[in-house]
Amino acid sequence: MSSSTHFSDPSSFQQQSNGFVSWLESNPGVKVNPKIILADLRSTGAGRGVVARTNISEGEELFSIPRSLILAVQNSDLKSLLPQDVEALGPWLSLMLVMLYEYLRGEQSRWAPYFRVLPTNFDTLMFWSEAELNQLQASAIVGKIGKQGADESILESIAPIVKANPALFPPVNGLTSFDGDAGTATLLELAHTMGSLIMAYAFDIEKGEDDDDGEGDDDNESYMTDDEDEQLSKGMVPLADLLNADADRNNARLFQEEEFLVMKAIKPIQEGEEIFNDYGEIPRADLLRRYGYVTDNYGVYDVVELSLKDICQSAGLSNNDIESQPRLQLLEENDLLDDGYVIPRPTANATLETILPAELVVLLTTLTQSPEEFEQRRSKNKPPKPSMDANQAGLLYKTLQSKQAQYGTSLNEDINILTGLLPPNAPQALEGSARRHKMALQVRLGEKEVLRDVQTMLESLVANGSLKRSANGDDHDSRQSKSARV
């Protein structure tokens, strides 16, 4: 959610919106349907958003942006002003460098009115203090922020270019250069601002081929750790990125055509309704990491992640070092070992078979085999057949309990804290640390609910007697309890 505090000059918010729309419409080729309006949604904590002024039909074009107007490497002069190949930096860093260049050009940049409507402060996890991150307790998301890696990439790839070209990247904040501690700190801060904008606003831009749709929402950990094989270039698409997102009310999509990117209604939209993009089925922890807000309707996508370390510990292994643990080695050699195992929130009809990842069941099976069974498998370099009998269920249950204990507070305690944060007449849009605290609570609560629900499923399986303790780990009578996901 974006509140006033996220924008550099909240007092001229409307003026900046108007300036942006005038600039946008003055660009040749831009078409904006008069049925939509760029709205001020700060009172609901959603910053700017696009709203329907009158009813809109399904399939109707909402706006169309020429590819040449996308803030992207291909459209900036920077690539011809530097000796090096900017694109070779990869999609994240090349766009970051271009955005730094265009931002530092100030009014001279073609995209100056666009920069004025983009936020300068973020609630994405990259910017949380240690105390704020502690509120996420044992959530695996804390290990996926990637701040240190991002700092290193910026210092290694962006800083040398910026420092070597002061005429293209003039220092700001009264600094005489981006050298020295103060200069480096300022550059890092600016680069993180651009990185955060890319993470929450940019689209993956397909090459000018017809017809493919494309929300720019590849889902990767941290920023700058994209799936490098995809290598789609990234771009900031004015107006398209001022749509907010909603898990249930998504009603528009960006279609990437040869010359234009076209936002179309994918459902009939009523007068006064907000127009929403879609971020896909992402857990609230990821929503917070990438976009800096959470809403309850993404709660259905919440997950809990169990680390290999925790599972090994619950199994009584002294460590999870592959070299010294033959059982892990066997899985590693068969490409079946992960650092973490994600369990989704069980839906009403879910079974353990449908929610437990296949690799997790193989790991549980491997760790609970008798030494003889394991030796047999190891001699053939074959992982065991995954099964989910009482031994594996017991190990999983123990791991879930130990994960729950790591959070520090119980589910019920969190429910009470959350209720206390929201006295009946309190404003919904909290600010600053209070807002972050509430979002962290929502995330960890969701994860604890997943833990509780999976434990309940395990308990009821045991209570139903459908889990049998098998001596050989290959109990053909307990078909019901076998994992079918392998």
Q: Closer CB to ligand SAM, residue 1 or residue 96?
A: 1
Report 295-314 residues binding ligand SAM (CB under 6 A): 295
Residue among 263 and 330 whose Cβ is closer to ligand SAM: 263
Which residue from 333, 337, 347, 262 is spatially nearest to 299, judged by alpha carbons?
A: 347
Query: Which residues contact residue 13 at a Cβ distance below 8 angstroms, ignoring those fewer than 6 apart?
Result: 4, 7, 40, 42
**Residue 400 in the binding site for ligand SAM (CB under 6 A):** no
Quote the distance between the C-alpha of residue 79 and its chain's center: 29
Considering only 292, 383, 386, 473, the residue that binds ligand SAM (CB under 6 A) is 292
How many helices (H) and strands (E) the chain has is answered by: 17, 13
Q: Could you say which of 20, 38, 39, 48 contacts ligand SAM (CB under 6 A)?
A: 48
**Per rule CB under 6 A, is residue 261 in the interface with ligand SAM?**
no
Distances in whole angstroms, Cα of residue 261 to Cα of each of 29, 61, 214, 229: 11, 11, 9, 24
- The stretch among 30-38, 55-63, 162-170, 291-299 that binds ligand SAM (CB under 6 A) is 291-299
Tell whether the torsion through CA atoms of 65, 68, 72 and 78 is positive or negative: negative
**Between 67 and 290, whose beta carbon lies closer to ligand SAM?**
290
Q: Of 96, 236, 242, 303, which lies in the binding site for ligand SAM, with binding defined by CB under 6 A? A: 242
Q: Does 235 bind ligand SAM (CB under 6 A)?
A: no
Cα R_g (the chain), whole angstroms: 25
Residues binding ligand SAM: what is the number (CB under 6 A)?
19
* 162-178: b (≥16 Cβ within 10 Å) or e: bbeeeebbebeeeeeeb
Contact, 363 vs 369, CB < 8 A?
no
* Extended strands (E) in 286-377: 303-307, 340-344
Instruction: Return the structure tokens found at 383.
Output: 């992982």
Q: Between 165 and 204, how does the x/- string for binding to ligand SAM read (CB under 6 A)?
A: -----------------------------------xx---
Token pair listed for 11: 């007092």
Q: Which is nearer to ligand SAM, 168 or 429 (CB)?
A: 429
Least distance between ligand SAM and beta carbon 324 (Å): 43
Cβ-based nearer residue to ligand SAM, 5 or 186: 5
- Does the footprint of ligand SAM cover residue 291 (CB under 6 A)? yes
Q: Determine if 396 is a binding residue for ligand SAM (CB under 6 A).
A: no
The β-bridge relationship of strands 274-277 and 260-265 is unpaired
Q: Which of residues 78-117 bind ligand SAM (CB under 6 A)?
A: none
Q: Which residue is nearest to ligand SAM (CB)?
A: 47
| DSSP-assigned letter for residue 472 | S
Q: Is 293 in the site for ligand SAM (CB under 6 A)?
A: yes
Q: Is the dihedral of CA 126, 128, 134, 137 positive or negative?
A: negative
Exactly one of 16, 32, 47, 56 binds ligand SAM (CB under 6 A); which one?
A: 47
In the complex with ligand SAM, the residue whose CB is nearer, 76 or 244, is 244
Residue 13, Cβ density class (10 Å: 0-12 exposed, 13-18 middle, ≥19 buried): middle
Q: Which among 237-245, 331-339, 403-411, 442-450 is the span making contact with ligand SAM, rule CB under 6 A?
A: 237-245
| Residues in contact with ligand SAM by the rule CB under 6 A | 1-2, 45-49, 119, 200-201, 241-242, 244-246, 291-293, 295
